[in-house]
């Protein structure tokens, strides 16, 4: 199946990948194309910007989490029915595991999915030297996948001359330039960019950026390049399900899972949620900030990551929701919580204002702010004991990214950094709970989400007999 696509990579973080990706996405939408988008790596915020532009959920693609076959499967699954896909790279084009491998890099994703890559080069302070930089990226790997470049922050006064030199001396096509743009500024906070809804006039800015792209980029050429991509090659995985037949879309969901979703809890891999639904769960969203209690008929609870520290006061003052969660967990409702969701379960949590607030009281401990990023990056988790999420010795992959820590991180899993010697214990795991700082990718071990759903079904049956 033909699935036109390109990957936008860069020489380094801060090169303008997200800005240019959003502008190109908007330009494609303006042309009437049905667009799908992907972010390379474990990033929650950039896909939210993509989603605002294209109007449908953007996804993540990550070769560390899902390997070659599943990565191609998820690409094909999520790009089906669209006219073109745009992938945004991560960090520098070759930067991967542990900072010493190309595995899980933007290059690795382009290689695994056989996607033509376009390198975004920040030319600020450079002219002829940009050729040396491009040459190095082209030659670092024998098949770099790089078939084009975009020159960011390039002066239109010298663009044509630099473009001509690049195309005369290097085996790569220049797909245009982006001038210095001051109108599209994205602020950052400690976990990355601010949320899309916090950017004043985001729609106006992205549409203005798209107009610049149409003027200074070869959009027709980028579309033609995308059309050269071969179809993804993969074997469809076997997905465990609570449904009785293959016609799962016609079946009644086996369980109902309450999913926290508001300004405080918004970090979810959409493929994780889709997988839960595929396995037999109905997902019902609720707001720990605004709602007074958990959704009725909930058989399980999912608390994702986000920014609870920014809303600590509001979360603490919603005592009816805190009591609703305490009682539900006390009755044995299965629970999965990650990072911010894990912090919310503590007795107390320090907010960004430095005040310690009372919270759910499910985890006997306190979450507190630190001065630096802790336990950052990919991890492979091995279960230390039998529990809901995994049997002893089973593994699942994920990542950590947080400026907070806890006096009670748990010890049901051992987390190991790939290609490094560092390891630590984490996650509170029981027969009905998995709560800790790591963000898990369910496709890395589908037994994890299915075990959660099975426990939810058991809890539903117990409720019915009460």
Residues catalogued as catalytic: 339
SS3 13: coil
Rg (CA), the chain: 23
DSSP assignment of 377-421: EEEEEEESS--SS--TT-EEEEEEEEEEEES--B-SEEEE-TTSS
Measured between alpha carbons, how far is 275 from 89 in angstroms, rounded to an integer?
24
Pairing of strands 117-122, 188-189: unpaired
- Cβ 176 vs Cβ 158: under 8 Å: no
- Cβ 387 vs Cβ 412: under 8 Å: yes
Beta bridge partners of 148: 118, 173
Q: Could you tell me which residues come within 8 angstroms of residue 212 by beta carbon, excluding any fewer than 6 positions away?
A: 23, 178, 179, 181
Pairing of strands 433-436, 428-429: antiparallel
Measured between alpha carbons, how far is 89 from 68 in angstroms, rounded to an integer?
17
Measured between alpha carbons, how far is 409 from 257 in angstroms, rounded to an integer?
24
Find, among 56, 42, 48, the residue nearest to 21 by Cα: 48
- Cα–Cα distances in Å, from 301 out to 109, 267, 314? 33, 15, 20
């Amino acid at each position: 199946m033909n699935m036109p696509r390109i990957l936008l990579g860069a020489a380094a973080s801060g090169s303008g990948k997200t800005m240019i990706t959003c502008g190109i996405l908007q330009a494609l939408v303006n042309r009437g194309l049905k667009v799908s988008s992907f972010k390379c790596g474990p990033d929650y915020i950039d896909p939210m910007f993509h989603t605002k532009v294209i109007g449908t959920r953007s996804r993540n693609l990550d070769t560390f989490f899902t390997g070659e076959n599943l990565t191609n499967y998820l690409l094909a699954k999520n790009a089906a029915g669209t006219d073109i896909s745009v992938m945004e790279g991560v960090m520098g084009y070759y930067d991967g595991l542990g900072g010493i491998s190309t595995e899980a890099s933007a290059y690795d994703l382009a290689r695994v999915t056989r996607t033509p890559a376009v390198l975004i080069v920040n030319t600020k302070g450079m002219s002829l030297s940009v050729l040396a930089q491009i040459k190095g990226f082209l030659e670092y790997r024998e098949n770099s996948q790089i078939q084009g470049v975009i020159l960011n922050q390039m002066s239109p006064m010298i663009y044509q001359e630099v473009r001509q030199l690049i195309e005369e001396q290097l085996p790569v096509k220049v797909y245009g330039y982006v001038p210095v743009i001051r109108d599209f500024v994205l602020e950052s906070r400690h976990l990355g960019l601010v949320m899309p809804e916090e950017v004043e006039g985001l729609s106006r800015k992205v549409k203005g950026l798209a107009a610049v792209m149409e003027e200074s980029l070869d959009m027709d050429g980028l579309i033609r390049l995308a059309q050269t991509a071969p179809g993804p090659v993969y074997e469809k995985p076997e997905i465990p399900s609570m449904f009785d037949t293959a016609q799962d879309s016609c079946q009644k969901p086996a369980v109902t899972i309450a999913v926290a979703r508001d300004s405080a809890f918004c970090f979810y891999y959409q493929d994780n949620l889709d997988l839960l639904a595929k396995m037999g769960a109905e997902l019902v969203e609720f707001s720990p900030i605004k709602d007074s209690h958990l959704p009725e008929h909930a058989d399980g609870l999912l608390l994702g990551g986000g920014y609870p520290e920014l809303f600590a006061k509001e979360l603490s003052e919603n005592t009816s929701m805190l009591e609703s969660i305490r009682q539900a967990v006390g009755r044995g409702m299965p629970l999965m919580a990650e990072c911010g969701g894990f912090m919310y379960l503590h007795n107390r949590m320090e907010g960004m204002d430095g005040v310690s607030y009372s919270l759910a009281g499910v985890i006997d401990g306190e979450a507190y702010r630190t001065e630096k990023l802790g336990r950052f990056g990919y991890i492979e988790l091995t279960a230390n004991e039998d529990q809901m999420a995994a049997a002893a010795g089973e593994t699942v992959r994920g990542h950590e990214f947080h400026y907070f820590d806890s006096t009670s991180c748990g010890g049901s899993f051992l987390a190991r950094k790939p290609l490094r010697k560092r390891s630590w214990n984490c996650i509170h795991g029981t027969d009905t709970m998995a709560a800790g700082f790591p963000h898990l990718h369910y496709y890395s071990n589908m037994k994890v989400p299915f075990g959660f759903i099975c426990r939810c079904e058991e809890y539903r049956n117990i409720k019915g007999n009460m």
